[in-house]
Chain A
């Protein structure tokens, strides 16, 4: 069974530029999560999708961050414009029905200069 795929693995941009991250969850997993992990901290949930609907985006900075999961499968997280404090690892995770086990992708390390 293939795991959660993410791309790119690394990205370096200048502040005020835009960037997009892609995630493909485990096949059949209805729930998809995006987490932000700042160096030295635990991951923090940005947004949670159930199929293609948003369950929780209370921690998403909506003035600059957006995410979509149009067909209930893969998802894109966008930052526009980026700030220095957005430097972090962005983790995508997915889980199946009736389970709280989340499977994580390798993450995208974003550096904003």
Chain B
């Protein structure tokens, strides 16, 4: 069965500092990987996705993530945090033969200090 583990339920950074949110997955077949962001009282918004091809993927709002098969990881990064980045972030995985069903991690709450 597939699963997703996000290391750290809460991450706090200073404005302008590097953001690193960790995600590890388990899958017996090549996965499709996603990062979503959720602002308070809102639905989930897709930040970026990896399906095939280039392992470094760029998303919206300056975020990027790198698929590392050998480490079964898909960590999310942003070089310089902004106050507006404060939100809950979810890593998710699916397989092509699952018809798009997403398996989510438990989420990481990002706080940004002025």
Tally of contact residues, A, Cβ under 8 A: 25
Which chain A residues numbered 69 to 113 have a C-beta less than 8 Å away from chain B? 91, 93, 95, 100-107, 109
Complexed CA–CA distance, A44 and B2 (Å):
13
Chain B residues whose CB sits within 8 angstroms of the CB of A100 once the complex forms: 32, 34, 49, 51, 94, 100
Cβ of A56 under 8 Å from chain B: yes
Query: In the complex the two chains form, is A43's CB within 8 Å of B90's CB?
Result: yes
Q: Taking the nearest CB of chain B, how far is it from the CB of A75, in angstroms? A: 15
Query: In the complex the two chains form, is B51's CB within 8 Å of A91's CB?
Result: no
Complexed CA–CA distance, A88 and B94 (Å):
23
Measured CB to CB, the residues of A under 8 A from B are: 4, 31, 33, 40-45, 48, 50, 55-56, 91, 93, 95, 100-107, 109
Cβ of B77 under 8 Å from chain A: no
Cβ of B70 under 8 Å from chain A: no
